[in-house]
Structure 1
Amino acid sequence: MKTTLDLNDALITEAKALAAREHVTLTRLIEEALQLRLRAQRETGVRVRLPVFRGKGGLAAGLDGLSNRAMFEAADHDA
C-alpha cells in the first residue's frame, strides 16, 4: 500500500544512509522498524481491562461452574 509520511529531514537522511549501507530499500527499512515496534508492544504484556458484570444473578442452581462438561451440557439443554 502506498502512503505519504511527513518525516524529520535528519531522520530520513540517516535512514537512507542506513538502508544504503545494508543494501535494502528505505521501504524495507521502515517496514522492519514498524514490525519491531509492534512486536515489542505485543510482548510487553500490555493488559486490557475487560468489562465485569456486577449485577445480580449467577449460575443456575446445581450447575458446577468449575466443570467444563457441566457447562457444555447445560448450554446444550438450553438450545
Structure 2
Amino acid sequence: MTTPKRKAKPWAVVLNAPGGPLRTEHTSEAKAYEHVRAELAAARAGASRVTRIRVEQWDRPAGRWQLFDLIDPKEQQ
C-alpha cells in the first residue's frame, strides 16, 4: 500500500448555506481561517446566509479529509 501524495492545499473550508455547500481549499491553516473570519464578518453584517462552517484538514496517511473545526456563525455574533 502506498502513502497518498501530499496535497498542495491540505486545508478546506465548507460553507453550508440554503443554496447548498460551497467548498474551498487552502494552502495553510492561516489562509483557511482568513476565509472563516471573512465569512463570519459577512454573516454579522447580514451579507451571508451561511448556517455552518466546517474546517477540514487532509489526513495524508488515511488519504481523506478529517474534521478540524465546526463553527456556528450564530454563536460568533
Which TM-score applies when normalising by structure 1? 0.28
Structure number with the higher helix fraction is 1
Structure with the bigger percentage of strand: 2
- TM-score w.r.t. the length of structure 2 is 0.28
- Asked which structure has the greater RCO (Cα within 8 Å, sep 6+), the reply is 2
